[in-house]
Structure 1
Amino acid sequence: MAKRSQLAIAALARLGVPRLLDGLWGKQRLTVLAYHRIADATAPDFVHYRPNVSATPQMFARQMAWIAKHFNVISLPVLHAFLIKGRPLPARPLLITFDDGYLDNYLQAFPILKRLQLPAVIFLITSRMARPAPPWWDECALYLNLTAHQRAELPLLGECDLSTPEARRAATDQLLRALKRIPESEKQAAVRRLGELLEVPAPSAHPPLFVNWDQVREMIAANIACMPHTVNHPILTRVSAEEAYRELAESKAHIEAQTDQQATAFAYPNGTPSDYNSAIVGMLRDLGFQSAYTLTPGPMSLRALRRYPLQIRRVFLLYKDSFDLFKLKVMGLPALAARPHYHKEI
């Protein structure tokens, strides 16, 4: 983060803007935190996709202590009781969520949540339970970080400078943005081609990058719900309707077969309004899902929550966030600039 931005954010915090935002949004709002990985993205041996890291373990512990002091952290069943049965929520309710099911959620986040007695939800890419190899975004980052090439012709981008770590990270960001815009089958072919062009072997599943079913069951017993995030993490509007339905139905079935609990919540891969549509929302409802989560900035008023339970907004968190920026995000500053866009829910 640029020095000028850091100073501006610190100034907003000192001027009491988080408290003003709290008053502006009021107590009758739902805040949902969206984490991915809990790790040190700046460690010398970290070769995966940095922006998928939400916080270091130390920052996560600090964030959770602050959350426990300023919000009423709720479990998924409490939220669903509000949505389905109309049971009241406490003032300033907050739900903690993680996407993908990385192993560091179990190794780093779970002990902190357990110590503070905070419930949470982890959305699992269910194919990774049996095949814990890096997903496509981490695979791209790994190829670009480990290649010996200083320049290369990359799929969708053309010739790119890879002479410095900064240049490699910039190329990774640019490539991932381009890959997200194309159909899933073309994306997977481009990722395979990337490894060949950069002459880096395909990544191994060892050591595992994702949790296994035994760890999932252990967390569920400790009030950490584990719910589906598709089987393979395609962007659902980049595959056929039949394939999208199969991703939803099979990931739900995997969770239910392995955990003996109903899978009633879902997180959309990538999570922007263009990554799902009314048809996919309808599929979720037909399959019995009671809530679904986007990455449109939150919080969300309880009135909007009742109307759009399958498009719940979340606060996206990034490892670069200072503690002051974390507080501003959680109190809803980005959401003020995000014009609400909801697909029709029948």
Structure 2
Amino acid sequence: MFSDRMRKLAYGSGLLGLYHRLRNQRTLTVVMFHRVLEISDPRWHSCDPEYTLEVGLFECCLAFFRRHYNIVSVDDVIAARRGARALPPRALLITFDDGWSDNVDFALPRLRAASMPGLLFVVADVIGRRLPFYQERLVGGWRLGRIIAGKLLAATGSAQLLRGNTLVDLRLAIAVLEKLDDNARERVLSAFADETDDGLSHMVASEDLRTLELGGIAIGLHGKTHTPMTRASDLDAELGGARGIVAEHLESTKPPVTMSFPHGSYDPAIVQCACEAGYELVFTSDPTLNLLESRPGWLLGRVGFEQSDIVDRHGAFRADKLALLLFCKPQRVLATDSTD
């Protein structure tokens, strides 16, 4: 829509900000992060760049949010949902997915310094686990030069050939691996076990969740195993069962009342199951701004972005890019009630 020069001019002149203030007055924007790391951290060398933000850029994002939004907590959203109080104009909620230990190390201190709350959706089975999900382990092994995309693809039994060994090629191989049944996938992964272990600890422990809670980061659920819920063999375990597991690790010991769908995967039947499991708010990965009517909807969209989306070719933060990415997203009401 915009050339680079036009985008800079629109943001620098204040026109894009004015557009946002008028257009998005009655919306709730929910932003979605995953990992936040310093380049000097050993985990940086094996992390998935698609889901990782350098800590300085994260600070720039927080400053941008402060300038253009009113930051709210999930308790504020729940209170508005219950009709206790209204959300402020241009409300924004900060969320994180999965349960990465770097959220404690790097995201939490920056949020506390900015006096901003947040919400972490944790996968129940990763609590206290050292290694990340198999997709991230494979990306890590590839980034460390230990895995070749073509060899991984061949191990799946696929006759497809890859032209190179780029990250795109690796993701194609991982997509094939994801379609295998659990036993076949584990056989493939076991052959690459040494290549995918970087020796580092990536996921949160129980004490990390309590630290996050005390620091103003609420805890929600992101499934039990991180399996896409449309493929889950035991949906009750992924939804209701996982609530009890996570509650055992929390300071409050109360089961989470919010959740997000792993991989953004859901359908109407899964939404109904989430309702029956007792969640007050359910978050998708649908990239929409949540239009507020009399109160926030029960099913909410979220906007995510990669580091490459918000920087120039030298890696410097570009506020105009983030503004265009967030301000112009479609406005929707995904579901006003859990019965919709």
Which of the numbers 193, 196, 209 marks the counterpart of 1:216? 209
1:342/1:175 Cα in 2 relative to 1: closer, same or farther (>3 Å)? farther
Select the structure that is richer in helix: 1
Q: Which residue does 1:73 correspond to in 2? A: 71
Q: Which residue does 1:327 correspond to in 2? A: 323
Shift of 1:178: 4.4
1:344/1:172 Cα in 2 relative to 1: closer, same or farther (>3 Å)? farther
Q: Which runs of 5+ in 1 are unaligned?
A: none
1:25/1:49 Cα in 2 relative to 1: closer, same or farther (>3 Å)? same
2:288 maps to 1:298: yes
Amino acid aligned to 1:186:
D
2:110 maps to 1:112: yes
CA distance in 1 between partners of 2:217 and 2:97 (Å): 13
Q: Which runs of 5+ in 2 are unaligned?
A: 311-317
CA distance in 1 between partners of 2:294 and 2:288 (Å): 11
Which of the numbers 164, 185, 193 marks the counterpart of 1:190? 185
Indicate the SS of the match to 2:248: helix
2:243 maps to 1:252: yes
Aligned-residue sequence identity (percent) comes to: 22
2:143 maps to 1:152: no
Indicate the SS of the match to 1:85: coil
Amino acid aligned to 2:271:
V
Shift of 1:46: 1.6
1:25/1:251 Cα in 2 relative to 1: closer, same or farther (>3 Å)? farther
CA distance in 2 between partners of 1:220 and 1:317 (Å): 25
1:21/1:300 Cα in 2 relative to 1: closer, same or farther (>3 Å)? farther
Shift of 1:251: 1.9
2:262 maps to 1:264: no
Q: How many residues align?
A: 323
Q: How much is the aligned-residue C-alpha RMSD, in angstroms?
A: 3.0
Indicate the SS of the match to 1:10: helix
CA distance in 1 between partners of 2:32 and 2:338 (Å): 23
Amino acid aligned to 1:211:
V
CA contact (8 A) 1:125 1:230 kept: yes
CA distance in 1 between partners of 2:269 and 2:77 (Å): 24
Residues 1-346 of structure 1 correspond to what in structure 2 (within 5 A)? 9-14=7-12, 16=14, 18-39=16-37, 46-53=45-52, 55-145=53-143, 146-147=145-146, 149=148, 151-152=150-151, 154=153, 155=156, 156=158, 158-162=160-164, 167-179=165-177, 182=179, 186=181, 189-190=184-185, 192-193=187-188, 196=191, 201=194, 203-204=196-197, 206-240=199-233, 243-259=234-250, 260-271=253-264, 275-303=265-293, 306=296, 308-310=297-299, 312-322=300-310, 323=318, 324-331=320-327, 333-335=328-330, 345-346=338-339
CA contact (8 A) 1:30 1:94 kept: yes
CA distance in 2 between partners of 1:236 and 1:150 (Å): 27
Amino acid aligned to 1:52:
Y
CA distance in 2 between partners of 1:193 and 1:7 (Å): 48
CA distance in 2 between partners of 1:125 and 1:237 (Å): 16
CA distance in 2 between partners of 1:246 and 1:296 (Å): 24
Amino acid aligned to 1:133:
L
Question: Mean alpha-carbon deviation: is it higher for 44-53 or for 84-93?
Answer: 44-53
Indicate the SS of the match to 2:309: coil
CA distance in 2 between partners of 1:52 and 1:122 (Å): 15
Amino acid aligned to 1:47:
S
CA contact (8 A) 2:128 2:204 kept: no
Per-residue CA deviations over 1:133-177 (Å, capped at 9, x if unaligned) read: 120210221343333658536135722244xxxx33111232344
CA contact (8 A) 1:277 1:343 kept: no
